[in-house]
Amino acid sequence: MHKDEHYLQRAVELAADNVASGGRPFGAVLVKDGRVIVEAVNTIHISQDPTAHAEMLAIRAACEQLGARLDGCVIYASGQPCPMCLGAMYLCGVSRVVYATTNQQGEPFGLSTAAIYQQMALPLCDQQLPVQYLAQPVMVEIYRDWKALNVPE
């Protein structure tokens, strides 16, 4: 746990530095085998890209170095990961996440994603964002073609 505290403190430092530079209070450190692979901060204020969360940027940079799978990696984040970031962590195989502040702590500052988590827990038909399924049968053939090209030998 001592190493967890060390890396988490670094994520918090990155968040503080980002606020001092005009950004949002989010930093992330991605570690594998006790080695920092990448550090990142939220850059929405620079890029105007709403997906430019510290965790997403850390994942993108780490994947450039290590490949699409981040098995064995730990992400240390200054804030509780949002659903997008958490989904990306699942998709790339991050092994563990450690974070410094909860959605409840961020709520008074407008920094909670709890409402998004609540929406995503509902069936698609009950969510506020209309999501419509419109079948395209050819997609099954396209999936089949992809699978045939990507069968492990």
Annotated catalytic residue, options 13, 39, 55, 141: 55
Say how far apart CA 132 and CA 32 lie, in whole Å. Answer: 39
Task: Please check whether residue 23 is in contact with residue 46, taking contact to mean a CB–CB distance below 8 angstroms.
Answer: yes
Does the annotation count 13 as an active-site position?
no
Say how far apart CA 20 and CA 68 lie, in whole Å. Answer: 32
Q: What average pLDDT does the segment 23-44 reach?
A: 97
Q: What is the pLDDT of residues 48-87, one digit of tens each?
A: 999 999 999 999 999 999 999 999 999 999 999 999 999 9
The structure tokens listed for 37 are: 């692979």
**Cβ neighbours of residue 143 under 8 Å, at least 6 residues apart?**
none
